[in-house]
Amino acid sequence: MTDSTHLPTRFANRIALVTGGASGIGRAAVDRLVREGAAVVVWDIDKAKLDACGALHGHSVLTRVVDVSQAADVENAMAELIEARGKLDILVNGAGIVGPNGPFWETSPEQWDRVVRINLTGLFLVSRAATPHLVRNGWGRIVNIASVTANEGPKNLGPYAATKAGVVGLTKSMGKDLAGTGVLVNAVTPALIATDLLQQLSAEYLAAALSRIPLGRAGTLDEAAALITWLCSDECSFSTGAAFDLSGGRGV
């Protein structure tokens, strides 16, 4: 992505919150939002990566260790965000984990609960805390990072696929619940994007996943950030409750 494709004032005066924004797709969204004028708050559980992000962006970024699966942590952090920045316009729900690789019957209830609490309940908790502030503005954008696995239900990835299907279903309801408020809610459904998260996948799964992408490669972080930030922008105005494919043709 060259600088000439960036719009330096696209997010001027916008306050954005990105969960899971310390690395990978969330971090790519943070970087682009900042480059295009937003003040960004980043919540993540990885303190070292949060510090690196904060050091790079200086006053444009506030970072905080927040576990999105913990309701009290989310509520406290949201109160701090509003106190510090005065409002919230944009929410990107990027925090997520892959969870166990294996057949569903070998997944322990504890493993299942952890994936659900982070990928689905966490997204609900953060969206729930953010929504009154977005509605108060009369303008807002929520972008939920789902996955192409929401539709596919890949072998050995049941908990992850179930949570991502849940994210797509929740996005549809959120979009309709908020219709008419000025707040639009959409999801993206990536296939393989080149991030650290891929290291949590088995070599066998990775090879099979790549072979199913018609464009024949993983997506880039810039490609993910381009779609996510478009969904955060004024230019996205007639889409809500939708899941946007980001899979090199695999998911369509």
Ligand X SMILES: NC(=O)c1ccc[n+]([C@@H]2O[C@H](COP(=O)([O-])OP(=O)(O)OC[C@H]3O[C@@H](n4cnc5c(N)ncnc54)[C@H](O)[C@@H]3O)[C@@H](O)[C@H]2O)c1
Residue from 17, 22, 142, 150 in contact with ligand X (CB under 6 A)? 22
CB-based contacts of 8: which residues, under 8 Å, 6+ apart?
35, 36, 37
Asked if 164 and 146 count as a contact pair (C-beta separation under 8 A), the reply is yes
The verdict on 23 binding ligand X (CB under 6 A) reads yes
The verdict on 61 binding ligand X (CB under 6 A) reads no
Residue from 1, 6, 37, 46 in contact with ligand X (CB under 6 A)? 46
Task: Give CA–CA dist 203/205, Å, rounded.
Answer: 5
Asked if 192 and 219 count as a contact pair (C-beta separation under 8 A), the reply is yes
Q: How far is the CB of 153 from ligand X (least distance, A)?
A: 14
Place of tokens 């993910």: 224
Q: Name the residue nearer to ligand X (CB basis): 190 or 241.
A: 190
CB atoms within 10 A of CB 50: 23
Q: Which of 158, 148, 144, 141 is nearest to 232 (CA)?
A: 141
Q: Name the residue nearer to ligand X (CB basis): 23 or 151.
A: 23
The verdict on 78 binding ligand X (CB under 6 A) reads no
Q: How far is the CB of 183 from ligand X (least distance, A)?
A: 21
Annotated catalytic, 160?
Answer: yes
Size, binding site for ligand X by CB under 6 A = 31
168-197 binders of ligand X (CB under 6 A): 190, 192-193, 195-197
Residue from 68, 184, 187, 243 in contact with ligand X (CB under 6 A)? 68
**Nearest-CB residue to ligand X?**
24
Q: Which of 47, 1, 50, 60 is nearest to 22 (CA)?
A: 50
**Residues recognised as catalytic:** 160
